[in-house]
Structure 1
Amino acid sequence: MTQDSELRIAVIGAGPAGVYSSDIFLRQLAKLGDELGLGTDARIDLFEKLPVPFGLVRYGVAPDHPSIKFIASALEKTLDNPNIHLYADVEFGKDVTLEDLLERYDAILFATGAIKDKPLAIPGADLDGVYGAARFVEWYDGYPTGVREWPLEAERVAVIGGGNVAMDVARELMRNADDLRAKTDIPDNVYEGIKNNKAKELHLFIRRGVAQAKFSVQELREMEKLPGVQLIIDEDDFELDDDTVEEAGKDKLTRQMVEELFVIRDMAEDMEDDGDVDFEGNPADRKYYIHFNSAPTEILGEDGKVRGIRVERTETGADGKMHRTGEFTDYPVEAVYHAIGYKPESVPGIAYDEGGAHLANANGDGRITVDHENGEVRERLYATGWAKRGPVGLIGSTKSDALMIVTAMLEDLAQNKENARLAPDRDPESIDRLLAERGVRPIDFAGWKRVDAYERAEGAKEGREHKKVIDPDQFRALAHGE
């Protein structure tokens, strides 16, 4: 095989979207490449600004999700492919530019994900004690550039949101530190923080009704098994009319979620009847209130600090449309966490669609455009995952996304008169020389494996499977064998 015979693809972001897309590209090329006149050989270089791959799986999902290690294992197998090369600790727009990559790659795929919170647009959102979920998730997941300490002084806290991130945040705030350490890879600073957490009462506020929430069944089942925590619900929230039940039943996932919420309703009633106990019948020392049809309208403060939250009762029809009632209730709390959605990052040199909160692309098909109003496609540039569609969907949904984008990439490459070999510099070692000239030291897959081995060894000392490294300098030293 000559250097000119292989397609060269750059992927920006080594999280699930980027890794899945790389795998699917190679699989589809092997299947269709000859038919399309492209051949079946390709080299994919994955660029990741963090010193570690896996993005959301490692740094965006709560550590007590049992499915994490299975997803990470699958991603790791993909990265072990000799046709996929990891360049972690390399930041697009800083260490390499769009021009650098267009010179060396036939197509560029952006899978940059999201790490910022959507702003909370209600009065009092700027008070001391109001936190975005993304920053809190970074703390408990040991994000390399995240904070190392978190203020957990509030005895009464509120969480705003009707999706899985809100559930994650609420669960970690109600967690028993010893139980969490025994079952997860949390680092010592997170264990100490949660161990000293003073929260005894938590209120989760969901704007719409039981049938319109966006929780996964797995999240709900994790909520059900919190040692020392009593779940408390409002029975009125579960009075669903026939139209709502019929509408919820049309979608399998929604139906399963609603059924599980009714299991939680029954559990909550049993917990109260048995004397305010947890799921195992032991005395509960923390209370977790779940409020549906509750829209926070203002965060109340005193001396610049959170002292309460004002919530308006809502009504939600079978069509999912929410109506406000004008009935307000104030809850005393000292901290408020909002999990109302992430905002995917912008990318240097690529137009951004502020309304959709994603990179500008043609009709949502992943082909990057001049801007979000001008549908003119920019050749050789693509987006996938949250970078393409905004912060919606679970990790698994990135697979179907990736297949659609890869199909578009292959179609475009096959139509090119130059037989898809568009990058003028076809030397596979060219990118390595460029980075070396700039003093950039990428972490490759072998480097990641060295870190992983260290984390496993440190975890084994405490009878755990893993224990996260969080210091980026230590991470680099381990990865480079120093």
Structure 2
Amino acid sequence: MSENSELRIAVIGAGPAGVYSSDIFLRELRKRGEELGLGTTARIDVFEKLPVPFGLVRYGVAPDHPSIKFIADALEKTLDNPDIHLYCDVEFGKDITLDDLLPRYDAVLFATGAVEDRPLHIPGADLTGVHGAARFVEWYDGYPDGPRDWPLDAKQVAVIGGGNVAMDVARELMRDADDLRTRTDIPDNVYEGLRRNQARELHLFVRRGVTQAKFSVQELREMEQLPGVRIAVDDEDFDLDEETIKAAGGNKLVRQMVEELFAIREMAQDMEDDGNVDYAGNPADRVYHLHFNALPVEITGTDGAVSSLRVERTRTGADGVMERTGEFVEYPVQAVYHAIGYKPAAAEGIAYDEHRTVLANDEGRILAASDSAQIVPRLYATGWAKRGPVGLIGSTKSDALLIVGHMLDDLAAEAGAGALAGDRDAGSIDRLLAERGVRPIDFAGWKRVDRFEREQGSREGRKHKKVTELERLRAIAHAE
């Protein structure tokens, strides 16, 4: 197949969903392309609005996750492919539009992530000191457009949420700054902020029971090993009936999580009995309370700022159905963080399903409207843009395989071996961007950033030190 007849695919988003989909598309095309009449070669152009790739892995996961490096390394190996072309610092809807892409690409795949918190709908949610997880994560991950300072003067803090993001937020709020700096790539402003952190007591509230939490075992184990932190639990939360235990045992991941939580209960008791110590037996100056069956219902304030959180006790059956009891407890706190879900970003020109908070789609095929069954040809969604902000890397890969299958089948059903774009000049998109004054950062530019960050880290005895400023990232990436 000639260069002008090979398939042309545009991917919006260089996070895990976009990168995995690109890799799977090329592999599946090599496997099935001949029998489908599509040939076996394609050029995939991946557009990313940030100056650097990897999305959620770089800017949405807590810096102390040991798995980050391995995932980022795998994504980088995929991008280091002559059939995949990286265009960072190119924003869809601003620098390029759907009208620009459709004449140049046979299909467009949206792999955009989530940038906004789902709102907290309880009284007092607008008080000073109430924070959504997304902005806090942007701060401690050094997101280029994120805040550079964060208020950490609250001595008593609440975190609302029963998933891994809530655990990340709580763990970073209880973190020892020096320990985190040694082990991770946090920038200087985050280190200095955490050094000044006043939090000494943290409460994590999960509205349902122990077996309904969505924590991974890895998250729990990271919580267990916080230097200087004692864990505290309520024994009543662990009083499970036989039906609930049986239901939890039917799912391997849930069973492992529950077993770990019971181990944490024993650890918490030992920490208290040994005189308020941390996991290593050293004196603890902070305490981390883990509450289940606890539904936050109101945030109260003084002079416009958070002063307490009112929580209602709940009961949760083996089927996951939650009942309210009418029993309330008020906790004095000066800051409340909510991690109750993200809202995936919209994309200009693409219908958005507000109910499901996804790009309107049917198994990854973009729909004309959220209430329509009409499929828009050549447009697809994967990852959180398709399914919403749930699932880990395994779900992302499963999505990619499903959507790639649809793309290949749809392209094969078209005349001309799937070559639907009229402009098949590989340099066409580069000329368009140049005319608009847009200067993309390619894979070589990313490697310059990566080398610089490693060099900066090595000077301080660290493996890596993240650059956060937009213009500095651009300058490093474009330096010859």
Give TM-score scaled by structure 1 length.
0.99
Determine the C-alpha separation between the residues in 1 that align with 2:51 and 2:471: 9
RMSD value, Cα: 0.6
Is the CA contact (8 Å cut-off) linking 2:351 and 2:360 kept in structure 1? yes
Determine the C-alpha separation between the residues in 2 that align with 1:159 and 1:131: 9
* Deviations 1:377-414, CA, capped at 9 Å, x for gaps: 00000000000011111133200110000000000000
Q: Secondary structure at the match of 1:5?
A: coil
Partner of residue 183, structure 1: 183
Is the CA contact (8 Å cut-off) linking 1:9 and 1:43 kept in structure 2? yes
Is the CA contact (8 Å cut-off) linking 2:5 and 2:424 kept in structure 1? no
Return the letter of the residue paired with 1:307.
S
Is the CA contact (8 Å cut-off) linking 2:15 and 2:111 kept in structure 1? yes
Partner of residue 388, structure 1: 386
Shift of 1:4: 2.5
Q: Secondary structure at the match of 2:139?
A: helix
Determine the C-alpha separation between the residues in 2 that align with 1:319 and 1:81: 47
Q: How many residues align?
A: 480
Shift of 1:432: 0.2
Determine the C-alpha separation between the residues in 2 that align with 1:253 and 1:31: 33
Is the CA contact (8 Å cut-off) linking 1:312 and 1:328 kept in structure 2? yes
Q: Secondary structure at the match of 1:123?
A: coil
Determine the C-alpha separation between the residues in 1 that align with 2:316 and 2:107: 46
Determine the C-alpha separation between the residues in 2 that align with 1:5 and 1:376: 29
**Runs of 4+, deviation exceeding 6 Å:** none
Determine the C-alpha separation between the residues in 1 that align with 2:155 and 2:31: 58
Is the CA contact (8 Å cut-off) linking 1:356 and 1:390 kept in structure 2? yes
Is the CA contact (8 Å cut-off) linking 1:350 and 1:360 kept in structure 2? yes
Determine the C-alpha separation between the residues in 2 that align with 1:3 and 1:446: 23
Determine the C-alpha separation between the residues in 1 that align with 2:194 and 2:284: 17
Partner of residue 452, structure 2: 454
Determine the C-alpha separation between the residues in 2 that align with 1:201 and 1:262: 22
Structure 1 residue 221 and structure 2 residue 221: aligned?
Answer: yes
Q: Secondary structure at the match of 1:3?
A: coil
* Deviations 1:251-310, CA, capped at 9 Å, x for gaps: 110000000001100100000110110000111000000000000000010110000000
Shift of 1:419: 1.7
Partner of residue 421, structure 1: 419
Is the CA contact (8 Å cut-off) linking 1:4 and 1:421 kept in structure 2? no
Partner of residue 379, structure 1: 377
Return the letter of the residue paired with 1:256.
Q
Determine the C-alpha separation between the residues in 1 that align with 2:187 and 2:15: 21
Determine the C-alpha separation between the residues in 1 that align with 2:450 and 2:263: 39
Partner of residue 475, structure 1: 473
Partner of residue 120, structure 2: 120
Is the CA contact (8 Å cut-off) linking 1:232 and 1:289 kept in structure 2? yes
Partner of residue 37, structure 1: 37
Structure 1 residue 67 and structure 2 residue 67: aligned?
Answer: yes
Give TM-score scaled by structure 2 length.
0.99
Determine the C-alpha separation between the residues in 2 that align with 1:85 and 1:3: 15
Q: Secondary structure at the match of 1:4?
A: coil
Deviates more, 1:124-133 or 1:409-418: 409-418
Determine the C-alpha separation between the residues in 1 that align with 2:371 and 2:13: 25
Determine the C-alpha separation between the residues in 2 that align with 1:396 and 1:216: 13
Return the letter of the residue paired with 2:373.
G
Determine the C-alpha separation between the residues in 2 that align with 1:116 and 1:419: 40
Shift of 1:372: 1.2
Alignment map for 1:244-283 (pairs within 5 Å): 244-283=244-283
**Structure 1 segments unaligned to the other structure (5+ residues):** none
Partner of residue 10, structure 2: 10
**Structure 2 segments unaligned to the other structure (5+ residues):** none
Q: Secondary structure at the match of 1:38?
A: coil
